[in-house]
Structure formats: structure tokens, C-alpha cells
Structure 1
Amino acid sequence: MLVHTLCLLSVLVSSVRAAPLAPRAAPTVQLDQGTFIGTSDGKTNKFLGIPFAKAPVGDLRFNLPVAVEPYTGTHTVTSFGPSCPQQAVDFDLPSQLAEDAVNFIVNSIYQAVFPAQEDCLNLNVVVPAGTKPTDKLPIVAWIFGGGFELGSPAMYDGGAIVSRSIEMNEPVIYVSMNYRVSAFGFLASQEVKDAGVGNLGLQDQRLALRWIQKYISAFGGDPTKVTIWGESAGAISVALHLITNGGNSEGLFRGAFMQSGSPIPVGDISHGQADYDALVSETGCTGAADTLQCLRQVPYDTLKKAVDASPGIFSPNSLRLTWLPRVDGKFLTDTPQNLVQQGSVANVPFVTGDCDDEGTLFSLSTLNITTDDELRSYITTNYMPQIESKSLDDLFTAYPADITQGSPFDTGILNALTPQYKRLAAMQGDLVFQAPRRFFLQHRSGLQPTWSFLSKRLKGLPALGSAHATDILNIYGGGELADYLINFATNLNPNGKTVASWPQYTTSSPKLLTFLDGITPVTITNDDYRVDAMNLLTELSLQFPI
């Protein structure tokens, strides 16, 4: 049954495999002086692969995105545009993984790689069939995840969200966007900072949000009713849009919905200098008077090969990613958590939640770590090079070697692939996901409406448990989370007639909507687990941002 469910996930989120439908009258939309011809299944109209920015090639490679010129002519937009260049996935699945776990990883990760090219800044719009320009429907703007290294809107069928919204009599418009990933979108060095071209993937997303403001009315959307929404790197992106620009949303969105992502503990963009220098060396740009300009001129295949050689999310570096958002002085003027403390947060309602076992998937590449000494060395070298012995001792006390306390949580002596696997999984999941979520909520609840959730579903997935990304089925697969999202986009409140009541999160009453396996699918729990451990991790991450 579990194998069937995981295979179903791949089918549900991949519109590219949908069976062909009978021909219907093609929907059209007028943008500027251009006519765009989409496709319809009778319930939803889709306009796919619309360019929103000029091709980021030549001098626009490693440069800020530039909006397209006003549209002219006729364009057929019935298939997804190319994905942005993907970093190659280099990950040997551990031999001891059970078939169910292997199926989950293959279906959720290895299927994430799609045909790609540099000219990739396109977006997709899915609209209820029959929508008129005067209907002023709310919009959900989806930002995909993939560790800031890979991913594509083509992985997800926005028609499922729009169809469900129609059934609920709360119709919404779905927009999904491409953005540059890996080194193409998150190159990091002092040179990048000096040139003001950091965090280009986030800048791409911001430009797509501006496109929505300009053009969504033609599709029947209300540009004042945009909810930004994402999972994993997409949710982290949403969080960073909340804290950029002094918290000024520029009217680009009125709400935010985050699945496994909050303001993360990252430091200055110069922390990526060694990886930048390696890229410069491997592309033959060493010695160039302007290495950044040299990288812009390197042949694509040469650059792509060098990028693929850099450590990926499933390398031993794990969640200390090579390419990710960092403080660039422009999009991020300080570390994300410092900005939260400073109150640089858009004053809009938001939802943020996690899966129970966020760290398991990212701990499979470190199964060679089997002793306390090896784990201490790994934490010190990979995450906190300057940590004092006392603080490290405290961390190891907070996250003990007792496998019954590790992740997958609440699975007793099961799933201990090595003596340190569950312990490291607990640490990593809390460091990057759980602790930042709680930190964010504790600083913002009471200042703006907030809700939080915890997904404990698929807990029986061997070695992985309620792993990172297991909640995607609950939103693209017709689960309750889709209803909560649609309610939130419509009313800025996730509650509604079709779902269980979800209380707001407050510091005095930190309630979590908790999704469970079994006969009781949803319950309310308290956000009071591993309090001391997460507080320590937060304190350390403020000292040692990645």
C-alpha cells in the first residue's frame, strides 16, 4: 500500500504525464499587443511557458533579471517551458534502504530533473474555465523546491489546485514560476557582492511577482489578492520575500504559505568564496581581470560541467549547501534571523509548517559517521567550525546518542541505519527547518495572524519516516492541506467548511495542526517538543550562520 501511495505522488504532481484529452476550443488571453493561446480540459484553462524575463544569457548571465519587452504577435502556450539549468544529482542510494524508501526518493527527487536551458525564465497560469477579466479571483503563486539546485514547475499540476477550488466554490488562479537555481541563481563571493548580483534566483521570483501585478487582471485575477506559497527551497524563498526590503511587500502579496521553510541561518555571501574560486578555476577564468565577466562568457557546457562538479545537497555537505541564498547587502541586508529580530517582516498573515522528520532524507549521505567522535568532527567542520567544546558538549547532551530519541521520531529502536544516523537526522532537521520555524513564529505571533502545522504522516516509511516533502501529497494530491491553502488565499484564514478547525499560533498558546496516519487524520498538538534543544541550536546558528 505504501509503495502504491508513493507512486501515486509522482503521478499526481506531474502534469506532463497526463493522458491527452479531446480537443476543445482553445482559450486565449490578450497581454499588451500579444495574443496567447492556451489549452483547456473544460474545467481549467492553462497558459504554460509564458516568458516573464529576457533570456539570462551573455551579459545577462549572472546578472539581475530584466523584464520582457511588451508582448506582440501570437503565441501558443500549451506546454511547459524549459527548466533552468539543473545541478546533476549524484547520490548512490544506501544498499540497506527498504524498497518503499527507495521508491519515495526516486519519485520525489530523481524525477525532478527536466529538459533545461539558460533561457528559462517563464511562468504558468492556470485559470478556472470561463473566468472573465472582471472576476477578480485570488491568486496562489507557487515557488517550487529542490534545495536551490534543481526543480521545475512542470513537476506540479496546478490544475489540481484550481479544480479543487472550483469544487469548494472558492475559485483561485494558480501561477507557478521558474527561477535560476544552483550557481546560475545563487553564485556567492565577494565579487558577486561587489557587483550587486547576489541571490539572482530570488530576484527572478520577485520579477515574476511583479509580472503578476501587471498582467494577472487579464486572466481574471485580482493583483491585490496574491498569496505566495512554496515548499522546501520554495518555502524558504517565500520567507525571504517576507523579510527583504525592510519588510515592505511592495504590494506584491497579501499572505504567505510555507511548507518546510522559514528564514534560515545563512551568513554573508562571501562564505561562498571557496566554491566561487573553484568554479573560476574549473572554467579557465583564473587570472581574468574580471572573473565574473569571464564566467558570463564561458561556453554553457563548460560552465554546466563545472557546476555539476560542485557538492550537491546529497553530498556529505548535506544541508550546508554550496549554492543558496546569502546576505548580499541588497536583497538580504543582514542574516535572515537577524532581520526577523529587527522586525524586518512584511505585516501579512502567514502559515508555516514542517514534516516531523525533516532531517532524515539529508542524513543518508553521511552513513559513514558511526561514532561520537566522528559526529563531533562532522558538526565542527561542516556547520560550526569555531564552536567551543562546551557548546558542542551541550549540543550532544541535547541530542543524545539514544536511538529512541532520534529521527524518525517516535519509532523506538527502528530505523537506526547506523548508531549516529537518527541523532544526526534530528540535529539537521531541527537546525534548518524546525528551529527556524519556531523562532520565526515566536517573533511574529501576536504581531500578525499566524498558523502552524506539523505533518506526521507516512511515519512508517522505512528509515525516512515523515520525511521532508512527504506533505506534498497532502496538497497536490487532494488532501486537506489544499483546502486550507485555498481558504487562506481567499479569506486570509485557512479555516473553512470542509476542514477541521485550525487555531492561530500564539506564544501563549503555540498550537499546531497535526496531520496523522490512521483513523484520526488531524488533531491539535502543542509546539513544545525539544524546546531546550532547539533553543540551543538557534543560539548556535545565530553565532555560526552557514
Structure 2
Amino acid sequence: MRVGRSLSALFTGIVALTTATQSFAYDVLIVSNNDLNSTNPNRGSALLLAGALTCAEAQHACDLLQESLLPPPNNTGFSAGELVQALTSDKHGAALDRSQNIWVAGNSTCDVFSLDSQQRLVAQPKPSQENDDRLSALCTNSAPLARSNVTSYDTSRQIQVSTSNAGILQGFRDKFSWRFLGIKFAEPTTGDARFQVPTALKVAPNTTRSALEYGPYCAQAPDADNGHVVHTSEDCLQLNIYTPLVSFNGNADSEHKLPVMVFIHGGALNTGDSGPFSYNMTSNGFVGNSISNVYDGTNLVSYGGVVLVTINYRLTAFGWFNASNAALKDSLLALQWVQDNIGVFGGDSTKVTIFGESAGAIMVRFLLGTNPKYTSGLFSGAILESDLPIGSVFESSVLALNTSLTLATSLGCASNTSMALSASDVACVQNKSAADIALASLDLSITWMVTVDGDYVLTDFPSSVKEGQWARVPTVWASNECEGCYFLPFAANSSVAMFSQQLGAFFNQTVVQAITNDTALFPYSTAPPEDGISGSVLTVGRILTDFDLHCPMAYLASLEANVTDPIPSYKAVFATGLSSPLTPNTELCPGQVCHADELYWVFGTAETDGLYQPFSDVQLSTARDVMSRWTNFARTGNPNYVGASIQWAPYTGDNELVINATNTVQPYHVGQCDFFTNEVGFSFEKGL
């Protein structure tokens, strides 16, 4: 069951609200003093009606929102100073002039809250219909903070917005954000549409569409992040929007639009979803049957002042079979939807940052390397968290079709003697059930990759950068300290004597010998144990981290910075993290910063998931710093925000930001990366 829908949607008054807001031509902005501190009893929020309303109109508009005019500050979770700061800052979309007055609640009618230096309340006489001031207004916001571990959200506080080509979308709000969930952007990909280019969903004008609950998972085999069940939907191309602002006054012309961040979920290109999932385990152990929504945007958008979009794309064979690159095209279509419609959600279509984790970061790299004629104008920056550049590469069409032939043979659609995938083979697979296709791909352990098709994808990523045939946008490359620990199949207390054998599972004997000989770089025999994990096992995990993620990402960051007319590129490593329900490993991840352990810093969802609460002062500082850097990058292309403890310069090979309690910029594992470059080498393409 997907959480999100209340038992009865409250439609009464919603149509009137839409009509009223269009008539008054104002925006509705959730203003807050959200400091990410779950123990702060004074985290408040209110609704700013940014427009020109009389006192009576303001009272009526608040009533339609199921709220009332806001009582005077200091009685609402805000101090007067905090409220002025929230209303005059341009970070969150209000940016009101300090000379502006605003309607708030009075004893019998309205009072005026003055934003001047005295932050005054000025009583107003009872307004007349003939002569009344027209001001913006503040309403209460009684909505609770959305929590993950629930069977349904409180969706009673609804609103409708009219989009450019997606109809009238009906969403709702929580304490800190407007939420529009499960918005389909493409027609179903069933039947003849399977494996094909997605078709934009056609919506008749003035069609009202519910956006109150998350949609289905895309078809995929069982996995830890999907409830361990087979999912079969092929009508799953949808996106979710979290925003502080909905606009009824032509926000496309506003000076105070918010940057947009479009997140692409992970799951090895085989599993995953943009919404909540069931879990019962973290790396810290069993926690009971729970629901996580790691990508919920309410804290990110309210603290960082951005609009968040999370998207779905076709997974496993459905996204890549027959060298189709269908999943890549799904992402491009979602980004085009954002361009067309994000203005009414307060978003600036000229400031769109794509970001993703694991397979989501892989998809971001695929998008960066896509033929610029398909990506021009769709995004202005990119953040890649835990990309695997040499594990998921750019593949020739010959090899991609051979992989598809393997799947077709397994499904009985091609004979064991077939040398090439035929049209009839493809037609046969198209007629197989979604469950059969997903399970066959799982049984074969297929690693799907993007195909160099000569149209959408012209060459591998390093070549596209060198040739200038890439997106050319500022980029952040981030990895975690021991990503490899998550993937190791070894016992935590394995002895030093097992080191060479364990390495042999990943490298040939020549490389194993070179590693064991270089004890200065790889001190496996003297490395101390940590949290019950032997030093030699941790050394294997960190070697794999460097080889598979950190060093190839560092290479690509350097490459972007060293071409003609370079683009700013930043490199970071998370040396502190919070165990994610997405990637539990109770054997080798306790005490380590494993795969996906940065996500709670980025989204601030440890609170809404009910984990690791309350934050320590250090944890709270880390969450604020990471969120500020990521959102300022989306705003300006630079991850350095006003007040940052340390300046983070574009990557030059020896100036990586190490994110922990203190933050430092240092040459991080440069020797290890030189070793792998010289002794092993990196391959970013296959069969080209």
C-alpha cells in the first residue's frame, strides 16, 4: 500500500479557492523558521498570501484555506524578528520590501504587521467597502509535519493549481511544504509502447487531476527497497513535487522564483522508486516493520529554499532492452515536463539542478553525456552522489544487443543458437508478462547500461567532455568514505591471512600482488579494527571504494576542469553519515560511512523517518551545512553559502572537501588514485 491518500478528500471550497486566488492574483507561500532541529518547540510556519487583498478578502482567503488570519508574532512559533527575516529574505521566495505592511489577526477585524525596523503592529479601523487598504496577508498553517511511518497522510488541506499542459493538479500541504504526488508525465508503456520512446501524457485543458498520493513502483524484481515483492506496473512514469510556493499570479514573471532540484533515485538501474518504501532493518540492526521516505522534500525545500522534484523512470529490461535507452528518454521527458510546468510551483526553469544517488548518479552522468541537442536548456547543474563510473559504463550497441539476446533466450523468445537479436525476438519479449521479464533479468544478474546509439548518446562520457559534446554545466561529485564496505560479502572479523584471497574476488593476481606489496598506501596488516570490523576487511572496503567510485569520480571531476574553457567541478567525500534503510549491512557498515549514508544529510529526512532523533549539535550542524551547500549550488552553481565555515574551491586534484564534524579541504587519497590510474587503469566504456 502506498501511503498518501486520506479516507475522504475534502473538495468543498477547493474550486472556490482556485477561483478566488486567480481573481485576487496572489501566490501562497509557506514561510517558516525551520532550523531542522526536531527539539525546537518554536519551529513555526504560516501562509503568506502575496498579493493585494482587503482585510475582508484576506479573512475570506484564509478561511478557504481552512485557516484564519495569523495572530500577532510571538504567539505563533515565530518571534517578530524571525517573521521579518522569513518575509524579507529572497532565499525562500518572499523577498518582501521592508516598507511593506501585512494583514494579521486583530481583536475584531485585522491588524497590520509592519516589516520596518521596529517590527510593529499597527491597529487598523474597521474597513469599509469603499476605502480599504490592499495588502498581502498572513494565515495560520495548522498542517502537521508529514511523517513516514504512517499508512496515510493528512491530505485535508488541499489546493488546486492550473499548469501549462498537465491540467489542474490537486495537492495538499504539511507544516513546511506544498506536496503534489504521483503526477503522471507519460502515457503507459505497455504493449507496443514497451521499450519505446515515452509519449508525453495528453491532458485535456481544465482536467482536474488528483496529486494526493504516490503512484505505483515501476516494474521490477523483489529487492530490499521495494518490499521484497515483484512489481509489474508499466504505467509508472510519474513525478512528485515539494515546494514552499504555489503561484496564481503568473509566477513565470516573478523576480523571486526558486531554484529547482530534480532527484533521480538509485537501485542499480533495476529497482527503486521516488516515494516511500517498507523496511525493517538499518545497519544498526532490526527496527521492526517501518516505512521510510528518504526522498521526502519537506525539510529540504523549507530550509534550503528550493523546489524539489523526484522522478520515476523505467527500470531493469524495461528501460534498456533492445538498446532502447528508454530510461534515459524517460528522464528527458520528465525534465521537459519540469520546463513546461514548474513555474506555478514557484520554480525557476532556468535554474534546474539534476542530482541522484547510486544508480541515480549514474543516470545523471548519462544525462551529462547525452547529445546536447536533447539536453540544451533542461538543466543548469548536476550533483552526483556515489556514481559508479567504471561499473556502469557507456556500451556499444553490439554488446547491448547481445545482452538483450541473452534475456530473450532465457524467456524462450530466441533459440540458444541465435547469433543476433531479431525483430521477432523483440516482439516475443514485448508479449511476455512484466513479472517474467523482471524476474528473468534478476536471475541472469544483468547489469544494464546506456547504449552509444549515435543519436541520443554519441560516445562515452570522457570523450564527450574532451570533445565538448556534453551538457557543460557546473558539477559536484561526492562519494562516501567506505562505499565498498556495503558490497563486501566477507565476515567482519576475517583475519589478515584472508586479505589476498578477498582481494582476488575483485582483481587479478598481478594487481593483488601490487596492492599487498604497497603497505604504505594499503596498510592492511597494521590497520586497526573499528566497531568490530577487522582492519584488513576495512582496507578491502576502502580499496574498492577508491577503485570503483572515489578515484574514477575524481578523474572525471578533474577532466571537466582541464578541458578548453573548463566548467567548475567540485569533489567531496562524506566522512560522516547516518545509516540508510535503503542499504542495510549490519556486518560491515556499523561505524562506517557506507553506500547511501549521506542521504539523511541531503534531505533532512531522518526526522520524518523517526531515526537518529534528536540530533546532536554536531549532527545538526552537518545537516545544515550539507543542505546549504547543495541548495546554494542549485541557486548559484557554487556550493559555498554565506556563513560557510570553509570555502570549497573547484577541484584541481588535491583539494577535496572532507565532510565531517569539522570539514577540511585536503588531498584525499591522491596516492591511491595515482596507483589505480597507473597500475590498473580505468575504463569508462565497453566495446566502443
TM-score with structure 2 setting the length: 0.62
Aligned to 2:447: 322
Asked if the contact 1:14/1:154 (under 8 Å) is kept, the reply is no
Shift of 1:256: 1.0
Aligned residue pairs, count: 480
After TM superposition, list the pairs within 5 Å mapping 1:21-420 onto structure 2.
Answer: 21=154, 23-32=156-165, 34-72=167-205, 73-89=207-223, 109=225, 117-132=233-248, 133-134=250-251, 135=254, 136-155=257-276, 156-165=295-304, 171-187=305-321, 192-193=322-323, 197=324, 199-246=325-372, 249-261=375-387, 263-264=389-390, 266=393, 267-272=395-400, 275-287=403-415, 290-311=424-445, 322-364=447-489, 370=498, 372=500, 375-376=503-504, 379-380=507-508, 393-394=510-511, 396-398=513-515, 405=522, 412-414=528-530
Which stretches in structure 2 are left out of the alignment for 5+ residues?
1-37, 39-144, 277-294, 416-421, 580-585, 606-622
Q: Kindly indicate whether residue 595 of structure 2 is the aligned counterpart of residue 468 of structure 1.
A: yes
TM-score with structure 1 setting the length: 0.77
Would the alpha carbon gap of residues 201 and 365 (structure 1) be closer, same or farther in structure 2, given more than 3 Å must change? Answer: farther
Which protein has the larger Cα radius of gyration, Structure 1 or Structure 2? 2
In proportion to residue count, which structure has more helix? 1
Aligned to 2:666: 525
Counterpart residue identity of residue 511, structure 1: N
CA distance in 2, matches of 1:433, 1:511: 17
CA distance in 2, matches of 1:140, 1:249: 16
Would the alpha carbon gap of residues 304 and 258 (structure 1) be closer, same or farther in structure 2, given more than 3 Å must change? Answer: closer
Counterpart residue identity of residue 260, structure 1: S
Aligned to 1:500: 645
Would the alpha carbon gap of residues 112 and 79 (structure 1) be closer, same or farther in structure 2, given more than 3 Å must change? Answer: farther
Aligned to 2:655: 511
CA distance in 2, matches of 1:377, 1:291: 35
Asked if the contact 1:358/1:468 (under 8 Å) is kept, the reply is yes
Would the alpha carbon gap of residues 543 and 376 (structure 1) be closer, same or farther in structure 2, given more than 3 Å must change? Answer: farther
- SS, match of residue 236 in structure 1: helix
- SS, match of residue 290 in structure 1: helix
Asked if the contact 1:247/1:345 (under 8 Å) is kept, the reply is no
Would the alpha carbon gap of residues 87 and 121 (structure 1) be closer, same or farther in structure 2, given more than 3 Å must change? Answer: same
- SS, match of residue 431 in structure 1: helix
Would the alpha carbon gap of residues 32 and 352 (structure 1) be closer, same or farther in structure 2, given more than 3 Å must change? Answer: same
CA distance in 2, matches of 1:545, 1:459: 38
CA distance in 2, matches of 1:285, 1:14: 46
Would the alpha carbon gap of residues 47 and 150 (structure 1) be closer, same or farther in structure 2, given more than 3 Å must change? Answer: same
- SS, match of residue 665 in structure 2: strand
Shift of 1:353: 1.1
Would the alpha carbon gap of residues 22 and 544 (structure 1) be closer, same or farther in structure 2, given more than 3 Å must change? Answer: closer
- SS, match of residue 26 in structure 1: strand
Would the alpha carbon gap of residues 45 and 542 (structure 1) be closer, same or farther in structure 2, given more than 3 Å must change? Answer: closer
Asked if the contact 1:399/1:423 (under 8 Å) is kept, the reply is no
CA distance in 2, matches of 1:425, 1:78: 42
Shift of 1:463: 2.1
Shift of 1:48: 0.8
**Greater CA drift, 17-26 or 362-371:** 362-371
Aligned to 2:558: 442
Aligned to 1:314: none
Counterpart residue identity of residue 489, structure 1: A
**Greater CA drift, 216-225 or 268-277:** 268-277
- SS, match of residue 547 in structure 2: helix
Alignment deviations for residues 62-89 of structure 1 (CA, whole Å, 9 cap, x no partner): 1121111244421111111111112323
CA distance in 2, matches of 1:472, 1:59: 37
CA distance in 1, matches of 2:543, 2:398: 25
Asked if the contact 1:13/1:476 (under 8 Å) is kept, the reply is no
Alignment deviations for residues 65-118 of structure 1 (CA, whole Å, 9 cap, x no partner): 1111244421111111111112323xxxxxxxxxxxxxxxx7xx5669796511
CA distance in 2, matches of 1:55, 1:410: 57
- SS, match of residue 48 in structure 1: strand
Which stretches in structure 1 are left out of the alignment for 5+ residues?
1-7, 90-105, 166-170, 312-320, 381-391
Counterpart residue identity of residue 88, structure 1: P
Asked if the contact 1:261/1:354 (under 8 Å) is kept, the reply is yes
